[in-house]
Structure formats: structure tokens, C-alpha cells
């Protein structure tokens, strides 16, 4: 029986393939038309790849110098002995005045007074609002500032500041009248 069924199955496959081969080819006409239209269109042009310059490696010529991201090494000052020694230094033995406890930036000139004998005084207001009277020779500011001169609109100071090498240097400074 198995041979009988196998023969029928083989016969049916052969008949199906024979029928399929004899059928008209109408199902692909739209696909054939699309392919023909596509082949008939003008073809596009692809630009050639641009030419690139050859890579040139950077030559680091500062290899013998300090790396920029490492902290600098301590270098001793060799020029210290060549600088002339200054005779300027603050008088640390004198009693400090009231306005020496304020920075110059905290002080404001608010006016002037002149005595009968012609001595000019300046009026200085500190950051707490207290007004102080000063004259030439008084001290003010935290850098040993001595008043060298007073005019109606300006106070001239000479401060003594450290020079960074263990000595001191004089620095002129002024404080102007705030007319606002």
C-alpha cells in the first residue's frame, strides 16, 4: 500500500508542476514595467572622494622644560643679594593710632577744616560711621600710612609696605574727597 500512495503523490506533484509551467505570465507585468522604467532613467553621478593631506606628527620641542600641568619647583632667589638694601622700615615702637585699625578702603574723606593759625585738618569717616579729625603727620591705614599732605579735596599718604624680600618700601597713596 505504501507504494500505491507514493505513486499517487508523485503523479500529483508532476501534474501540478506541469500546470504551473503552462500558465500565462501576467502576474509580473507591473514589476517588469517598473524595472524597465528604472533602467531607462539617466544614471546619477557620484563625486569621487576628496584627497586628504597626509598626517604630519607634531614634534614637541619643549621636552626639556617643565611640564605645564606639574606644580613648579621651588627656586631660590639669586637676585636678593644684588638688590640694594633699603633703610625704610616702619616704627614699630610708636603707639598705634585709631585709624590704623582700618584698611584705607574702609576710610572715606568727608571734608576739611582749617584752624585760625592755618593748620589744615581732614575729616575721615570710618566704616562704622564715626568721623575722625586728622592732620599732617598722623597715621592711618593698616600699612603704616603717614599723612604727608592735606588739601581741600585730597589726602596724600606714604605707606610702608613689605617688598617681598624681607625689606620694606615706601608707596605713595591718596584719599580723595567724595563729593557725591
pLDDT of res. 81: 52
pLDDT tens by residue, the chain, 180 residues: 566 777 788 888 877 777 766 666 667 888 888 989 988 888 888 888 888 888 888 777 776 777 778 777 666 555 555 455 668 888 889 999 999 999 999 999 999 999 899 899 999 999 999 999 999 999 999 999 999 999 999 999 999 998 888 889 999 998 888 765
Query: Is residue 114 included in any domain, yes or no?
Result: yes
Q: Would you say residue 18 lies in a domain?
A: no
161 occurs within a structural domain: yes
CATH number, residue 117: 2.30.30.830
In this structure, is residue 29 part of a structural domain?
no
* Structural domain boundaries, residue 133: 98-176
Number of domains in the chain: 1
- 129 found inside a domain: yes
Residue 87 within a domain: no
3-state SS, the chain, equals CHHHHHHHHHHHHHHHHHHHHHCCCHHHHHHHHHHHHHHHCCCCCCCCCCCCCCCCCCCCCCCCCCCCCCCCCCCCCCCHHHCCCCCCCCCCCCCCCHHHHCCHHHCEEEEEEECCCCCEEEEEECCCCCEEEECCCCEECCCCEEEEEECCCEEEEEEEEECCCCCEEEEEEEEEECCC
Domain membership flag for residue 64? no
Amino acid at each position: 500500500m505504501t507504494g500505491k500512495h507514493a505513486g499517487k503523490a508523485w503523479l500529483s506533484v508532476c501534474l501540478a508542476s506541469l500546470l504551473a509551467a503552462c500558465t500565462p505570465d501576467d502576474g509580473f507585468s507591473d514589476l517588469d514595467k517598473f524595472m524597465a522604467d528604472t533602467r531607462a532613467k539617466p544614471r546619477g553621478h557620484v563625486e569621487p572622494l576628496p584627497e586628504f593631506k597626509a598626517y604630519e606628527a607634531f614634534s614637541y620641542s619643549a621636552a626639556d622644560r617643565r611640564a605645564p600641568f606639574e606644580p613648579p619647583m621651588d627656586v631660590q632667589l639669586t637676585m636678593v643679594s644684588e638688590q640694594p638694601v633699603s633703610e625704610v622700615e616702619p616704627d614699630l615702637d610708636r603707639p598705634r593710632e585709631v585709624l590704623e585699625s582700618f584698611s584705607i578702603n574702609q576710610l572715606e574723606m568727608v571734608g576739611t577744616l582749617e584752624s585760625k593759625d592755618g593748620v589744615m585738618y581732614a575729616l575721615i569717616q570710618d566704616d562704622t560711621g564715626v568721623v575722625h579729625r586728622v592732620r599732617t603727620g598722623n597715621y592711618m591705614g593698616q600699612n603704616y600710612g603717614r599723612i604727608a599732605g592735606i588739601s581741600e579735596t585730597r589726602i596724600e599718604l606714604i605707606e610702608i609696605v613689605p617688598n617681598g624680600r624681607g625689606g620694606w618700601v615706601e608707596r605713595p597713596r591718596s584719599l580723595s574727597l567724595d563729593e557725591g
